[in-house]
Amino acid sequence: MKQSLQLKMGQQLAMTPQLQQAIRMLQLSTLELQQEIQQALDENPLLEREDDEGLAAAPDSDSITEQPDASEKSVDELVSQTDNLGDNDAMDSRWEDTFVNNSSSIEGLPEFEARSSAPVTLHQHLLDQMWQLHLTPRDQVLFIALVDGIDDAGYLRESLETICEATADELDDIAEVDEVAVVLKQIHHLDPPGIGARDVQECLRIQLRQLGDSVDARETAIRIIDERFEALAKRDLTSISRGLGVDKSEVHEALSLIKTLSPRPGSAIGSSDTDYVIPDLVVRKVNTLWRVELNAEAVPRLYLNRTYSDLVEHLDDDSKNYIKAQTREAKWLIKSVESRYDTLLKVGRTIMAEQLEFLEHGEESMRPLILADIARQIDMHESTVSRATTQKFVLTPKGLFELKFFFSSQLASADGSEAASSTAIRAVIKRLVAAEPRTKPLSDSKLTALLGEEGYTVARRTVAKYREGMGIAGSSERKQFA
């Protein structure tokens, strides 16, 4: 075959360092991003971050104070270019060693530990403590029902009214809500601290009250939780200080104490790893409208230090080149961070708009949703949406959730109406099991029939799969003898 040189014109996406950085920043969790930014601050004298007290204003794209030069690629262009990249792009992995990875492990060790001893579940850990409370047989029934309603994070996800109904058959009457509340209060004194709370606010309050009166800043911390919780979520120190009528130094001391608390107390049981989660987004209801905002604590306010750049004309060539290179890197980082939060806010708002019924009524009202649905609405690639929802968390009135939680497959409904979300069906199964008679638990076939009565067409094997996935034992194992 004769060899020859040929010219060929065409378009090809170039993986520039700026684009690689924008992609990498979008993939990082909030904690990883903070570590990455701290490393950049330590190494680059041109990069600066505002004091925490500067976070009082509601975050927006204006939080990134350095604006792009007209001659450089805009943030929107960087974001749009990520849409054409797959999740396993080779250029992404090439930068892997540049950033801090929190999830390190020793090869072979986890498997060895799993064979050595099975971890104690949170459910079992709480049941083991029941005997120290010296409960009456009636209160023991209520205790077990309450523990069954506590999720892996340590929160009670069932209402007290539901507990009353679920225990009616065993007690031969319906318990009073106040009666259940007394038993729940006893659970609040068990290990781990904060267990059995119904929301983050109550969880933190329980932990603070267990510290004792002698702990410095305890009372101020409790007041912040009770009176200025929304300002706490936004790190609005000025609002907290004014609202409580205390000095900022006292607020700082109280916040330091609050940071030592665990927002997911149940996670410490059955796992040696402690995951600290900072919400990227906050959802709240204003009058009749739901608002999705960036969490101020999660958004770093970065800017260029002009002191060095203003002196560049008076420096030698080597110093000039160094300052210019550091300025360029600082600008790239600032724009990559801005790109990250622009994308997170856009994706988060679109997801919440699709799941308004969840915000109002909970998991049983969850709609089926896939990555492609969101990608299509905001004109982004699915891989970008995937990056923007992995290890990114949103704080809602229903709890703290990873954005991935709001995606689920769909199952057909019996009446031919809109398909149901698999998450909603799991929630219904959980409710049915919680309300079953302890001496005659529901089989998978019975659960399937009851789901059908509520309008869900689900195969028995699917019910079994969902039940096992939620850690709910089979009916024979759940049965308790009178």
User: Tell me, what CATH number does 460's domain have?
Assistant: 1.10.10.60
Q: Which helix (H) or strand (E) holds 451?
A: helix 444-453
Sign of CA dihedral 176, 178, 179, 183: positive
Q: Does the residue 441 lie in any domain?
A: yes
Q: Does the residue 461 lie in any domain?
A: yes
Q: Torsions phi, psi of 363, nearest 5?
A: -60, -30
Domain coverage including residue 444: 410-478
Per-residue confidence (pLDDT) for residue 64, from 0 to 100 = 28
Q: What is the number of other CB atoms lying within 10 angstroms of the CB of residue 397?
A: 11
Q: Does the residue 473 lie in any domain?
A: yes
Q: Does the residue 270 lie in any domain?
A: no
- Residue 88 is classified by DSSP as T
Q: Does the residue 470 lie in any domain?
A: yes
Q: Does the residue 234 lie in any domain?
A: no
Per-residue confidence (pLDDT) for residue 16, from 0 to 100 = 66
What total of structural domains would you count in the chain? Answer: 1
Q: How far apart are CA 260 and CA 248, in angstroms?
A: 19
Q: Torsions phi, psi of 401, nearest 5?
A: -135, 145
β-pairing, 420-421 vs 393-396, is: unpaired
Per-residue confidence (pLDDT) for residue 319, from 0 to 100 = 81
Q: Does the residue 351 lie in any domain?
A: no
Contact between 133 and 183 under an 8 Å Cβ cutoff? The reply is no
pTM, 2 dp:
0.52
Amino acid at 361: H
Low-confidence stretches of the chain (pLDDT beneath 70): 1-16, 51-120, 270-276, 309, 312, 412-418, 480-482
Q: Does the residue 437 lie in any domain?
A: yes
Contact between 271 and 119 under an 8 Å Cβ cutoff? The reply is yes
Greatest pairwise CA separation for the chain in angstroms: 94
